[in-house]
Amino acid sequence: AQTVTQSQPEMSVQEAETVTLSCTYDTSESDYYLFWYKQPPSRQMILVIRQEAYKQQNATENRFSVNFQKAAKSFSLKISDSQLGDAAMYFCAYRTRVGGGATNKLIFGTGTLLAVQP
């Protein structure tokens, strides 16, 4: 069974600085998706970025980028020029890409609570 591990329960960053959130996962599959979701105090789960395992290029979305190391099964999120609105719980998630009815199931890590200091 696949597992997702986020080893940093809490992180803190100064406004305008850069922070990296860690995520590792365990799987025997070769093709899958990885995601970072953001959950602000409003509780709304918001997709930040996604990575397809077959793509070697790291995904980027404006100030958010990932460092995807497939062999190491590592998927870290880098937030550049941190803003106060980035303060939230961040969840790493895994989903298999193999065909069939089970492909939509997301497996979440335990989350990292990010504080942004003004």
Partner 1 sequence: DAGVIQSPRHEVTEMGQEVTLRCKPISGHNSLFWYRQTMMRGLELLIYFNNNVPIDDSGMPEDRFSAKMPNASFSTLKIQPSEPRDSAVYFCASSFFRGSGNEQFFGPGTRLTVL
| Closest to partner 1 by CB, 41 or 118 | 41
- Helices and strands (DSSP H and E) totals, the chain: 0, 12
Least distance (Å) between residue 97 CB and partner 1: 6
Alpha carbons 118 and 98: distance in angstroms, whole number: 44
Alpha carbons 89 and 9: distance in angstroms, whole number: 9
The single residue among 41, 62, 85, 101 that binds partner 1, judged by CB under 8 A, is: 101
DSSP category for residue 38: E
Alpha carbons 70 and 56: distance in angstroms, whole number: 9
Under the criterion CB under 8 A, does residue 84 sit at the interface with partner 1?
no
Residues between 6 and 65 that touch partner 1 (CB under 8 A)? 33, 35, 37, 42-47, 50
The single residue among 58, 65, 76, 108 that binds partner 1, judged by CB under 8 A, is: 108
User: Which residues is 79 bridged to in the sheet?
Assistant: 19, 64
Contact positions toward partner 1, by CB under 8 A? Answer: 33, 35, 37, 42-47, 50, 91, 95, 97, 99, 101-111
